[in-house]
Amino acid sequence: METFDVIVVGLGAMGSATAYTLAKRGARVLGIDANLPHSKLGSSHGPTRATRESYFESPEYVPLARRSNDLWRKLEAESNARLLDIKGALYFAPQNHPLLNGVCLAADQHGLAVEKIDTEEAEQRYPGFSVPDGWQILREPGAGLLQAEACLDAFRDLARRHGAQLRFQSAATRWRQEGGASS
């Protein structure tokens, strides 16, 4: 009977990253998923995911977002795949909107570069947009897109390279623990 240190149930973004990280640290890992890779039944499907540094909802997330960008770059280097495209993001809202205020607060607290763009300049730089009067535009250069399927492939390929066994179309129906961790 095969034994594992860890069984990861679900190999979407979080499960695949977990399997990779634990296998890289030397754990015997089994990852199982009831579906095929890149299934549309989970939350990790689709071509891209947005990433940003200026968390307007809560500036406390900024250090985590910055760290995640560093980790994506390390994963790119290890997997030899292009995963993260930093192109910047635009935020459009009426003056003093909570979104804009939150972006500015996060930028101020964490030294993020955020550019304020007036309506006329925005329409010249981005002719596809028609900005309503009284609106403000912010540009965050550190935002970008993750290539979601490539990220999943990188995690899974590297997990296998580090010894993890990944099984798709294998539903978790039961498990049991034998032995136990020594304290």
pLDDT (mean) for 150-178: 93
C-alpha 80/C-alpha 38 separation (Å) is 20
Q: How far apart are CA 6 and CA 146, in angstroms?
A: 27
Angle between helices 148-161 and 13-24 (to 10 degrees): 30
What are the tokens at 95? 């003056």
Length of the chain: 183
Q: What letter would DSSP give residue 167?
A: E
Give the single-character DSSP code of 137.
E
Closest CA relative to residue 61, chosen from 53, 73, 72: 53
The CA distance from 25 to 153, in Å, is: 19
Please check the confidence at residue 181 and state whether its pLDDT lies above 70: no
User: Helices H, strands E: what count in the chain?
Assistant: 5, 9
Tokens of 99: 């979104």
The tokens for 163 are 């010894």
Q: What is the pLDDT of residues 78-105, one digit of tens each?
A: 999 999 999 999 999 999 999 999 999 9
The 10s digit of each residue's pLDDT in 13-66 is: 999 999 999 999 999 999 999 999 999 888 888 899 999 999 899 999 999 999
b/e code 69-91 from CB counts within 10 Å (16+ = b): beebeebbeebeeebbeeeebbb
pLDDT 10s digits, 106-135: 999 999 999 999 888 988 998 988 889 889
Question: Do 159 and 32 meet the contact criterion of CB atoms below 8 Å apart?
Answer: no
